[in-house]
Chains A and B, each alone.
Chain A
Amino acid sequence: METDSVFLQPAGSGAGRAPEGDGGKGSVDGVAMSGNPYAGLVSHLRASWLSGKTRPMEYRVAQLEALGRFLDEKKQAVLEATAADMGKPPFEVELSETLLCKNELRETLNNLSHWMKDKHVDRPLATRLDSAFIRKEPYGVVLIIAPWNYPIYLILGPLIGAIAAGNCVIIKPSEISKNTERLVAEVLPCYLDKDCFAVVTGGVQETTRLLENKFDYIFYTGSPPVGRIVMTAAAKHLTPVTLELGGKNPCYVSDTCDIPNVARRVVWGRFFNAGQTCIAPDYLLCSLEMQGKLLPALREAITEFYGPNPQESPDFGRIVGDKQFQRVRKLLCSGRVAIGGQTDEAERYIAPTVLVDVQPSDPVMQEEIFGPILPIVVVANMDEAIDFINSRERPLAIYAFSSSDKVVNQVLERTSSGGFCGNDTLMHVTLTSLPFGGIGNSGLGMYHGKFTFDTFSHCRGCLKRGMGREPLNAPRYPPYSQKKFGIIQATSKVTRKDDCTLL
């Protein structure tokens, strides 16, 4: 995710080109002009939604199956686009983009009919003879704004849930991953119903205009500063939001642990996608002694994974753009480079790097790194590590490595974060049955699997009563009396286990 505001970016690909059409088309390039350029598109989609087209399960299944076909048929195109955008190794694409999307699809298709069912609930005595249930309803027209680091998964993941819940969707891919943006804008609409799903491309200006429209839900993945802008825009229309943001994910390594395993798992998590992962371990906390033991292990793991010269490894990625490259490269000045540190501007290559002698006030500790740099901050012990973590914004993930269960549990219990993984990195998001989301500065709301479906559904409480049995209602009507009140009390009471009931 971009840690500096997307707002500062120059306008995207749409500038200078006339808009290509109205809401009937799959892809619209926006240009700033008087009157909102997307109003037509949004109302077209809203009309489709009001027509009820997206409600039947068969329709949703058909759209989801089409997404599956997109993933299968366009696999090569996806590999090429992500490689062009940030040198993504094919293995990473398969694992973190395609495979995760497929899992979400399968989980959703397997369970959709169950998820869509009305959920009947327990009733108090007063409504015992009625039908009370929760109906899951689509919100209407939802907007999904995706980032550039996992451009396919972070569009399709939410999209699958939004479609499954019966919504119409406008997708706004990131203009920074240009090739994937083009792929999504040109190819994805061909698989989906153009009356209900559209892709909008463009940069900051276009996104700002887009956000002026009223949506029924907004799902944003990106940085906290832009998250604030999105939520402020949503507030104007009272639009609910899910914000998947980021932060600095701490990784505590205790003095008792299996060092080679720790090193491998941390290196894997940190340097996957060249560090451009929202849940990557951002920095390490350990004692000076442990640092001494870890450094050779980290060096060995890096060599094991990427060879003696990672620039030549087909399994190591690149930074997505020049601006991001400059930003990350500046962070190398913090502390001292213990491993790596080499860069190549032409390729936007930054070597897997470990920094030591890092002070909490250094630049590398002020922002989410989002690059292949791992600073180590020395702490005396676990308590100091926990205090350090708690003195900062709540992160998206916290990692703790220790052979002692007690230590791992202590860190878990005394800190707060979106998610937690003990003795490994990243893995907690691979299970579709687990919710994924942030807390505080790292985000609002959650998704994955059924949670995505629930995110895009409004839970409507429904009660169906009969017209008869009116005398049973008599106690609630005026004129009020103590006797009537007593009856109401008795029939709506929830008895506690230690209360004695006479029935």
Chain B
Amino acid sequence: IEKVVRQARAAFNSGRSRSLEFRIQQLKALERMVKEKEKEILAALHADLHKSGRTEILSVLGELNLAMEKLPSWAAPQHLKKNLLTMRDEVFINFEPLGVVLIIGAWNYPFALVMHPLIRPCCVCPVGNAAVVKPSEVSENTAQLVADLLPQYLDRELYPVVTGGAPETTELLTQRFDHILYTGNSGVGKIVMAAAAKHLTPVTLELGGKSPCYIDKDCDLAVACRRITWGKYMNCGQTCIAPDYILCDPSIQSQVVENIKATLLEFYGEDVKSSPDYERIVNKRHFQRVVGLLEGQKIAHGGESDEASCFIAPTILTDVSPDSKVMEEEIFGPVLPIVTVKSVEEAIEFINRREKPLALYVFSNNKKLIRRVISETSSGGMTANDVLMHMVVPDLPFGGVGHSGMGAYHGRCSFETFSPRRTCLIRDLKLDALNKIRYPPVSQEKMDVAKFILLKHCSGCRVGRFLSALLGAVKAVMAK
């Protein structure tokens, strides 16, 4: 592993990843890879999670498109306002490549969560960084596929893939990287950040949490429940921004259950297990974990499971107690608890008493209520009257806050994370007259002129200020 990292760093230092043409070429190669190997990718995803995977591929292709289009404009240095003292100078912000980035992928969207950080117009290719990719060993088929495919299409030294489990990841984390992007859970997030601290490596942590979903009495329940059902049970509940639990008034609880049941029938038919569109839990360990959460709960719908195929039926729990196990950890499975609250105040208080979630959802016809929920809570991101969709808007930053993560990516916001900004000021070497104001020995006059030129003013005529400053400067120079 040390050799792999060293090679990546040497490749980065060679400077070949800096050129725009090189980066676009790599992006194009990735696009070819996704298109040519679509069948293999879909097969691996199906083997790992019994999923169709087409949306994952779609999102990756979309990202590639965006990157290739926007890269030239995003990578250009930014020229800025100057102050009076630097009028004659060149002032700009350069976007620089960072170095070697470590990308640790997750298993729930195993292809996308490795590809997006590679492509994302913030991360690797577009900025000119090198990357060591570590796909999750839990989704073993996709991990192996990524390890096989990437070297065939991309520069092998710049973008090596490292496979393995906890021991390999631990060893990787002892190496020095210039940024670490980790997608996973908070527990491991802390370990990653502590390891990064040893090298003062910045991190982006895409973690998780319990994303609450508040349903107001005043809303179209049928529509709300359909949307929630879609977001909750997609990928068998294994989505970091899935609505984790519902908060609603006790009077609408049974209606919510009925609506969700009806939608489930519509989506997956009578026999969910035989629906080609319903996924499975990724492995036995997680299967047992999720099934364990059902203990002692009131199951209003579902609850069936089959360990051999890691199947858990779409399940709804009612009258769930806030202290129960299912309300302690992120569920990451097709189990939807409903906790009753008497008012939106109680819901807000409930949400704020807990760790900040990755996403927050609120369903209501009342715009004021929605505004209030947004203002009085905090979360990584949120969608009102739907679920998951804020992730679809490329210019909205996607990331957590507090326990749900730090740093963000998507769109321009994140381009700046992975390509640090370097402030550049290039001055004229010849004219030193104006500089004399700042040199000792100091006089009251110099002080006054310096203050006048450097101090910002709340308002005032720009031309007048400029002229006075110039006069003052001339005066100071002449006095010298």
Asked if A and B are interacting partners, one says: yes
Whether B178 pairs with A423 at a CB distance below 8 angstroms is: no
- Bitwise, B449-471 to A at CB < 8 A (1) or not (0) is 01100111110000000000000
Q: A424-B427, A467-B223, A496-B68 are in contact. Are A462 and B447 (CB under 8 A)?
A: no
Whether B440 pairs with A316 at a CB distance below 8 angstroms is: yes
Whether A420 pairs with B424 at a CB distance below 8 angstroms is: yes
Contacts of A468 in B (CB 8 A): 223
Contacts of A257 in B (CB 8 A): 429
A235 to B62, CA, bound (A): 34
Chain A interface extent, by class: 35 or more
The one of B380, B429, B435 in contact with A402, judged by C-beta atoms closer than 8 angstroms, is B429
CB proximity to A under 8 Å, residues B410-432: 410-411, 413, 420-430, 432
Contacts of B347 in A (CB 8 A): none
Whether A106 pairs with B277 at a CB distance below 8 angstroms is: no
Residue of A nearest to B70 (CB): A494
Question: How far apart are B216's CB and chain A's nearest CB, in angstroms?
Answer: 11
Contacts of A295 in B (CB 8 A): none
A366 to B410, CA, bound (A): 40
B81 is an interface residue with CB less than 8 A from chain A: yes
Whether B389 pairs with A460 at a CB distance below 8 angstroms is: no
Contacts of A444 in B (CB 8 A): 200, 202
Whether B200 pairs with A99 at a CB distance below 8 angstroms is: no
Whether B383 pairs with A460 at a CB distance below 8 angstroms is: no
A3 to B389, CA, bound (A): 48
The one of A121, A240, A315, A402 in contact with B396, judged by C-beta atoms closer than 8 angstroms, is A121
Whether A243 pairs with B200 at a CB distance below 8 angstroms is: yes
The one of B86, B93, B390 in contact with A132, judged by C-beta atoms closer than 8 angstroms, is B390
A418 is an interface residue with CB less than 8 A from chain B: yes
Contacts of A50 in B (CB 8 A): 352
Chain B interface extent, by class: 35 or more
Whether B421 pairs with A435 at a CB distance below 8 angstroms is: yes
A107 to B68, CA, bound (A): 36
Whether B423 pairs with A465 at a CB distance below 8 angstroms is: no
Whether B458 pairs with A109 at a CB distance below 8 angstroms is: yes
A228, A265, A431, A437 — which one has the most chain B CB atoms within 10 A of its CB? A431
The one of A227, A458, A461 in contact with B390, judged by C-beta atoms closer than 8 angstroms, is A461
Whether A419 pairs with B422 at a CB distance below 8 angstroms is: yes
A151 to B332, CA, bound (A): 48
B393 is an interface residue with CB less than 8 A from chain A: yes
Contacts of A467 in B (CB 8 A): 219-220, 223-224, 363, 365, 385
Contacts of B311 in A (CB 8 A): none
Whether B429 pairs with A428 at a CB distance below 8 angstroms is: no
Residue of A nearest to B441 (CB): A315
Q: Is the interface of B mostly helix, strand, loop or mixed?
A: mixed
Residue of B nearest to A491 (CB): B392
A74 is an interface residue with CB less than 8 A from chain B: no
A140, A430, A460 — which one has the most chain B CB atoms within 10 A of its CB? A460
Residue of A nearest to B15 (CB): A414
A135 to B269, CA, bound (A): 40
Q: A461-B398, A463-B389 are in contact. Are A401 and B429 (CB under 8 A)?
A: yes
The one of A127, A245, A427, A445 in contact with B392, judged by C-beta atoms closer than 8 angstroms, is A127
Question: How far apart are A473's CB and chain B's nearest CB, in angstroms?
Answer: 7
CB proximity to B under 8 Å, residues A50-107: 50, 52, 55, 89-91, 94-95, 99, 102-103, 106-107
B378 is an interface residue with CB less than 8 A from chain A: yes
B21 is an interface residue with CB less than 8 A from chain A: no
Whether B424 pairs with A306 at a CB distance below 8 angstroms is: no
Which of A12-20, A28-36, A283-291, A477-485 forms part of the interface with chain B? A477-485
A72 to B159, CA, bound (A): 55
A121 to B393, CA, bound (A): 8
Whether A134 pairs with B390 at a CB distance below 8 angstroms is: no
B374 is an interface residue with CB less than 8 A from chain A: yes
CB proximity to B under 8 Å, residues A105-127: 106-107, 109-110, 121-124, 126-127
A446 to B65, CA, bound (A): 30
Whether A462 pairs with B440 at a CB distance below 8 angstroms is: no
Contacts of B430 in A (CB 8 A): 258, 261, 403
A234 is an interface residue with CB less than 8 A from chain B: yes
A461 to B401, CA, bound (A): 11
A314 to B456, CA, bound (A): 27
Which of B1-9, B108-116, B140-148, B187-195 forms part of the interface with chain A? B187-195
Q: A91-B447, A228-B197, A268-B438 are in contact. Are A431 and B425 (CB under 8 A)?
A: yes
Which of B52-60, B254-262, B323-331 forms part of the interface with chain A? B52-60
The one of B82, B219, B269 in contact with A479, judged by C-beta atoms closer than 8 angstroms, is B269
Whether B438 pairs with A95 at a CB distance below 8 angstroms is: yes
B83 is an interface residue with CB less than 8 A from chain A: yes
Whether A235 pairs with B197 at a CB distance below 8 angstroms is: yes
Whether B383 pairs with A465 at a CB distance below 8 angstroms is: yes
A445 to B417, CA, bound (A): 9
Contacts of B376 in A (CB 8 A): 52
The one of A106, A232, A440 in contact with B456, judged by C-beta atoms closer than 8 angstroms, is A106
A292 is an interface residue with CB less than 8 A from chain B: no
Whether B86 pairs with A238 at a CB distance below 8 angstroms is: no
- Bitwise, A213-251 to B at CB < 8 A (1) or not (0) is 000100000001001100110111010100101000000
Whether B440 pairs with A91 at a CB distance below 8 angstroms is: yes
The one of A231, A268, A429 in contact with B200, judged by C-beta atoms closer than 8 angstroms, is A231
Whether B392 pairs with A94 at a CB distance below 8 angstroms is: no
Whether B401 pairs with A458 at a CB distance below 8 angstroms is: yes
B212 is an interface residue with CB less than 8 A from chain A: no
Q: A238-B193, A458-B401, A477-B267 are in contact. Are A94 and B451 (CB under 8 A)?
A: yes
B55, B198, B275, B370 — which one has the most chain A CB atoms within 10 A of its CB? B55
Contacts of B267 in A (CB 8 A): 477-479
Whether A463 pairs with B396 at a CB distance below 8 angstroms is: yes
Whether A235 pairs with B378 at a CB distance below 8 angstroms is: no
Whether B200 pairs with A434 at a CB distance below 8 angstroms is: no
Question: How far apart are A441's CB and chain B's nearest CB, in angstroms?
Answer: 6
A268 to B446, CA, bound (A): 15
A156 to B85, CA, bound (A): 23
A99 to B423, CA, bound (A): 21
A99 to B202, CA, bound (A): 31
Whether A463 pairs with B383 at a CB distance below 8 angstroms is: yes
A433 to B93, CA, bound (A): 10
Whether B82 pairs with A431 at a CB distance below 8 angstroms is: yes
> Which 5 A-B pairs rank lowest in CB-CB distance, beginning with the nearest?
A461-B396, A231-B197, A315-B440, A235-B193, A422-B426
27 pairs, CB–CB < 8 Å, chain A vs chain B: A55-B375, A103-B454, A106-B458, A121-B395, A139-B401, A238-B190, A262-B429, A307-B441, A418-B422, A419-B424, A420-B94, A431-B425, A434-B80, A434-B423, A434-B425, A435-B93, A439-B420, A440-B99, A459-B408, A461-B393, A461-B398, A463-B389, A464-B370, A464-B384, A467-B220, A479-B277, A480-B276
16 more CB-based (< 8 A) A-B contacts, given A95-B438, A110-B458, A439-B420: A50-B352, A103-B454, A106-B455, A231-B196, A232-B194, A258-B430, A431-B83, A437-B420, A440-B178, A460-B401, A463-B393, A465-B384, A467-B220, A470-B223, A493-B65, A496-B69
Residues of B within 8 A of A (CB): 52, 54-55, 58, 62, 65-66, 68-69, 80-83, 85-86, 90-91, 93-94, 96, 98-99, 178, 186, 189-190, 193-194, 196-198, 200, 202, 205, 207, 219-220, 223-224, 226-227, 230, 266-269, 275-278, 352, 363, 365, 370, 374-376, 378-386, 389-390, 392-399, 401-403, 405-408, 410-411, 413, 420-430, 432, 435, 438-442, 446-447, 450-451, 454-458
